[in-house]
Copies of this chain bind each other. A is one copy, B any other.
C-alpha cells in the first residue's frame, strides 16, 4: 500500500449527449445532499459513490433519502451500504417502501441486508413481497452467510443442452433484460444437472444451427458445493481467473453463482478478519463500528492477554531472588522477549497469508515451518552475536554476555518455529488459523524468553 499517487476519477460526459448529464447529476446530488455536507471533489453519479455518501448521513437522513429515490436506485444504494447499516435502514423504512426496494435488489444483496434484520420484522417484510420472491429469499436466508450458498446470486440464465445456438441466443436476449451480469450462460441436461458453462463470446463465435451440447465439447466444469467456505470460493475464483463460479448441490444441480464482485468483497473481508483476528480485535470491526461495540469485542482478548502476561510474570517471580542480586538482568530481559516476539510475528504473518492465498497442502505447510526454523536460527545467530558483543563491551561481564546471546538465540528460534506452527495447530484444531495467534505467540516468546534468560543467569552467574 503506497500513498504516493492517487488515481483521478473523472466523470466526463459522453460525446453524444453532453447536455443530458449535468441535469441528471445535479438531480441526484440534490436527492443525496439532504441535511448532509457535500464531500469535496466527489460526484455522486455512480451508485457506489452515492452509497458512500449515504453511509455518512444519519439514520434518519438515510431513511428519508431512500424513501424518495426511485426504487431501482434505492436498491443499488442499499446494496452498496455496509450490511449492518443497511439492515438498520431497512428496519426503519415503512413496510411498503422496504418491500418496493427489496423487490428491486438482486437476491444475494437482499439476503445480506435481511440477515441483519431481527426475525419478527424480517417476516413482516417478506410477507409484503410477491410470494415467489419471498419464497426465494426465505430459502437463501437459511444458508450460512459464510458459505458459497450464502453469497451466491440466483439470477442466472439457464439453457438446455439440446437447444441450438440461435434458440439459445433468443432466450438469452429475452432473459437478459432484467439481469445484472449475464457474461456466462449455464447449460443443464434434462435432469437439470449442470453440464456446461458458456460465455456470450463462445455463443457469438459459433455457427447459428449448432447444438449447444456440441459447443460444450470437451469442456471441464469447475463448481463449488453450496456449503463450501466462502473464503475457499474466493481463492478458487482467483486461482482460475473466473468471472463467476457455479454453486451446485451434492447431486450437481445448479443453485446459483458466486460473482467476481462478491469475491473482491470476500477477499477484503478475509484479509481484514485475519489481520484483526491475530491481535484479538473483532474480525469485522472497522472505523465505523460503535466504540462500545469494539470494547466488547476486544476486551475478552485483552483479558486473555493479561492472563498470559500473568503466567510470564510468575516465571519472572520464580527468579525474583536472582534479579534482586543483579538488577541488570531486568534491563536485558525484555530485550530477549521483544526480539523473539518480532521474529515470531514475521513467521506468523508469512504463514497466515499462505493459508489465506493457497490451497492447503500439509506437507508444504510443515516444510514452511522448517524454513522458518532455519531463518530463526540464522537471524538468531547474527542478532545474538551482536548482542553478546554489545553486552560484553558495555558491562565487561562476559558470562552475562554469553547468557544474553544464548537466551536470544534459543528464544528467537522458538519464536520462529512457533510463529510458523501456531496457525497450523489452530487450523488442525478446527479453529480460525489467525484468531488470537499473535497473542498466543507473544505469551510463548515472553514466557520462554524470561525462563531461558533468567534460568541461564541463575545457573551461570550466581
Q: Are B268 and A213 in contact (CB under 8 A)?
A: no
Q: Are B345 and A46 in contact (CB under 8 A)?
A: no
From B9, B176, B273, B317, give the contact of A222 (CB < 8 A).
B9
From B10, B195, B243, B264, give the contact of A267 (CB < 8 A).
B264
What's the Cα separation between A365 and B310 when bound, in Å?
34
The chain B residue with its CB closest to the CB of A321 is: B327
Whole-angstrom distance from the CB of A53 to the nearest CB of chain B?
A: 11
Q: Is A256 an interface residue (CB 8 A)?
A: no
Q: Are B240 and A46 in contact (CB under 8 A)?
A: yes
Q: Chain B contacts of A13 at CB under 8 A?
A: 218
Which of A64-72, A94-102, A124-132, A283-291 makes up part of the contact surface?
A: A283-291
Q: Chain B contacts of A308 at CB under 8 A?
A: 338
Q: Is A59 an interface residue (CB 8 A)?
A: no
Contacting residues of chain A (281-340) with chain B, CB-CB under 8 angstroms:
281, 285-287, 291-292, 294-295, 298-299, 301-303, 305-306, 308-310, 312-313, 316-317, 320-321, 323-324, 327-335, 337-339
Q: Are B309 and A2 in contact (CB under 8 A)?
A: no
Q: Are B217 and A20 in contact (CB under 8 A)?
A: yes
Q: Are A327 and B334 in contact (CB under 8 A)?
A: no
Q: Is A57 an interface residue (CB 8 A)?
A: no
Per-residue CB contact flags for chain A residues 342-354 toward chain B (1 = under 8 Å, else 0) read 1101101111111
Q: Are B229 and A2 in contact (CB under 8 A)?
A: yes
From B220, B241, B310, B427, give the contact of A335 (CB < 8 A).
B310
Q: Are A334 and B352 in contact (CB under 8 A)?
A: no
Whole-angstrom distance from the CB of A14 to the nearest CB of chain B?
A: 4
Q: Are B312 and A229 in contact (CB under 8 A)?
A: no
Q: Chain B contacts of A279 at CB under 8 A?
A: 342, 345-346, 348-349
Q: Is A164 an interface residue (CB 8 A)?
A: no
Stoichiometry, copies per complex: 2
Q: Are B5 and A229 in contact (CB under 8 A)?
A: yes
Which of A111-119, A133-141, A433-441 makes up part of the contact surface?
A: A433-441
Q: Chain B contacts of A221 at CB under 8 A?
A: 10-12, 14
Known: A14-B196, A309-B338. A228 touches B173 (CB 8 A): no
Q: Is A232 an interface residue (CB 8 A)?
A: yes
Per-residue CB contact flags for chain A residues 403-431 toward chain B (1 = under 8 Å, else 0) read 00000000000000000000000010011
Per-residue CB contact flags for chain A residues 1-40 toward chain B (1 = under 8 Å, else 0) read 1111111111111111100110010000000000000010
Q: Is A192 an interface residue (CB 8 A)?
A: no
Per-residue CB contact flags for chain A residues 32-60 toward chain B (1 = under 8 Å, else 0) read 00000001000001101000100000000
Q: Is A146 an interface residue (CB 8 A)?
A: yes
Q: Is A145 an interface residue (CB 8 A)?
A: no
Q: Is A392 an interface residue (CB 8 A)?
A: no
From B217, B241, B267, B375, give the contact of A14 (CB < 8 A).
B217
Whole-angstrom distance from the CB of A434 to the nearest CB of chain B?
A: 6
Q: Is A456 an interface residue (CB 8 A)?
A: no
Q: Are A450 and B1 in contact (CB under 8 A)?
A: no
Q: Chain B contacts of A3 at CB under 8 A?
A: 229, 360, 427, 430-433
Q: Are A204 and B176 in contact (CB under 8 A)?
A: yes
Q: Are A323 and B334 in contact (CB under 8 A)?
A: no
Q: Chain B contacts of A285 at CB under 8 A?
A: 350
The chain B residue with its CB closest to the CB of A188 is: B15
From B6, B183, B438, give the contact of A183 (CB < 8 A).
B183
Q: Are B378 and A222 in contact (CB under 8 A)?
A: no
What's the Cα separation between A217 and B45 when bound, in Å?
14
Q: Is A205 an interface residue (CB 8 A)?
A: yes
Q: List 9 interface pairs A-B (beta carbons < 8 Å), by A numbering.
A: A1-B231, A7-B228, A8-B228, A12-B195, A14-B217, A279-B348, A287-B371, A305-B342, A324-B324
Extra contacts, 18 of them, besides A264-B264, A276-B349, A312-B335 (Cβ < 8 A), are: A1-B270, A7-B229, A8-B224, A10-B222, A14-B217, A17-B213, A48-B241, A237-B264, A238-B265, A286-B357, A287-B350, A299-B379, A305-B342, A313-B331, A313-B334, A334-B334, A334-B450, A338-B442
